[in-house]
Amino acid sequence: MDTDISASTSERRSHEGMILALACIAQFMVILDVSIVNVALPSIGRALDYSPTGLQWVVNAYILTFAGFLLLGGRAADLYGRRRVYMFGLVLFASASLVGGFAQTSAWLTTARAVQGIGGAFLSPATLTIIVTTFSGQRLAKALGLWSAMGGAGGAAGVVLGGVLTSELSWRWVLFVNVPIAAVTLLGALAYLTEARRRQDGERLDVVGAILATLGLAVLVYAIVNTDEYPWGSARTLVTLAIAVVLLGAFLLSQLRKSGTPLVPLRLFRSRWVTTANLVMMLVGTGFFSMWYFLSLYLQNVLGYSALRAGLAFAPMGVIIMVGAQGSSRLLPRLGPRRLMTIGTLMATVGFGWLTQIGSSHGYWTVVFGGGMLVSLSLGVLFTPLASAGTTGVDRREAGLASGVLNTSRQIGGSIGLAALATVATSHTTHLVHSGVETQDALASGYGRAFAVACGLTAAGFLISLFVPSAVRAKAAVPDAAPDPGPGGGTEPAGTLDPA
């Protein structure tokens, strides 16, 4: 009998290992796709005739739909089942990757990237649901730790893999690479995943809220991107901004009026911890997204790096993110979130200040390496304290939802900030070129101007972090922030912080 029990336990552990692998591989793929396209951007821009400001839509189309539908994806996994939503997100993500890889126009690729973002928004929170409904106790803590590490690994691997694929094959392979991974993962899901859900009578997905939020953000970004052609005071820009305000206002009104389960429970923001954490996250998210975008363009368009060399240049930055995250999690119990948040935002501010010194005559080691490493380290340092502060004072049953709101804030900050900073960089570059400045010098100066704005935004994040209540003390950050499995084995996750 002991032999039978041992065999049964071994088989169960083996199945759990496969389930954990399925969750981690999918999460890795979703985060990988945020960073893998950055190194390929110059090649994509040339192949599909993107304008200098239009090129950012390759990144922003993905970010905007991912942010807009992330909370909806988390709720769908709870209501309709982890297996069903996981496979839906996986198939949609892979299909959009395949279609995007064959893109012949900029509009084609941008649309495919937007659909990819929707697929990722359903897939990512479903992976978290799978973990918290499969594991418990110490095994849950270890599983969550590995799942979180996949985010860092995906972000780090993306920039290197993007360089290798673009250089050795084609930029199209940064999209095609998802298809075989998704196919193998889908077969594993069919074999090993079982269904688990907890749907109560009257609970429905807030699809209208997700659409209003995504459209509002997209129109806002569109208005900002086009200010280089239509000034801020022009009728077209003002009308576009007004439409964005109406859409976002309608979204907020819909959340206030919902008697059931709103997409974003605004009551969460009654907590000073939640409010300050989300504000800091939105501000620093702006800077972090812009760093990868502008440094990729700088290394290839100004310093003349190949895509492969640019990807390898980013590798140390990806590694230092994970080092910072590990160190931060160990320091949190002693220092508390506020001190770590102030340290992280101050480091980011200094790092972006350093990056403002980039120029056509400067090499990688003089500015890019030092500034980029400092900003990347600060990103790793900020993960844990922001997650801790962003879920402090929140009912444990809504901790997953609160962390999802925090992640959404980062995506929103990144998409709006990238639009604004790309416009700043392009406008400054155009002005210098018209003034007779060499193109390489003008480009470098434009990127430096964008980093100066990012420096100011992270400095604002530093000031806001000072208002995090000093009484906040970290608990076991990841396990405590995990969603409550609930009586039916479902969860209420909305996604968690991903370190891309």
Residue 160: left if φ>0, alpha if ψ -120 to 50, beta else—which one? alpha
Structure tokens at 64: 């905007």
Mean pLDDT per block of 10 residues along the chain (500 residues) reads 45 69 81 78 88 79 80 75 85 93 92 91 79 70 66 69 83 90 87 65 68 81 75 84 89 75 74 85 83 85 84 83 79 83 93 89 84 89 79 63 73 79 85 86 90 93 86 41 34 36
In angstroms, rounded to a whole number, what is the distance separating the alpha carbons of residues 282 and 275?
11
So what's the pLDDT on residue 261?
65
Q: From residue 204, give the alpha-carbon distance in Å to each of 76, 224, 261, 268, 487.
A: 9, 34, 8, 20, 19
Kindly state the tokens that stand for 124. 């990512």
2-206+258-481 to CATH, choices 1.10.287.70, 1.10.1240.10, 1.10.10.60, 1.20.1250.20 = 1.20.1250.20
* Position 301, amino acid: N
Phi first, then psi, for residue 187 (nearest 5°) are: -60, -40
Buried b (16+ CB within 10 A) or exposed e, 413-439: bbbbbbbbbbbbbbbbbeebeeeeeee
CA 294 to CA 424: how far, in whole Å?
12
Quick check: 352 and 456 in contact, CB under 8 A? no
Instruction: Please report how many Cα atoms fall inside a 13 Å half-sphere around the Cα of residue 275, on the Cβ side.
Output: 10
pTM as predicted: 0.74
Q: Please report the pLDDT score of residue 7 as a whole number.
A: 41
d(CA 400, CA 143): 16
SS3 of 265, please?
Answer: coil
Q: Is 153 exposed, middle or buried (0-12, 13-18, 19+ CB in 10 A)?
A: buried
Residue 196 pLDDT: 60
- In the chain, the amino acid numbered 187 is L
Residue whose structure tokens are 């990819």: 116
Nearest-CA neighbor of 26 among 121, 98, 162? 121
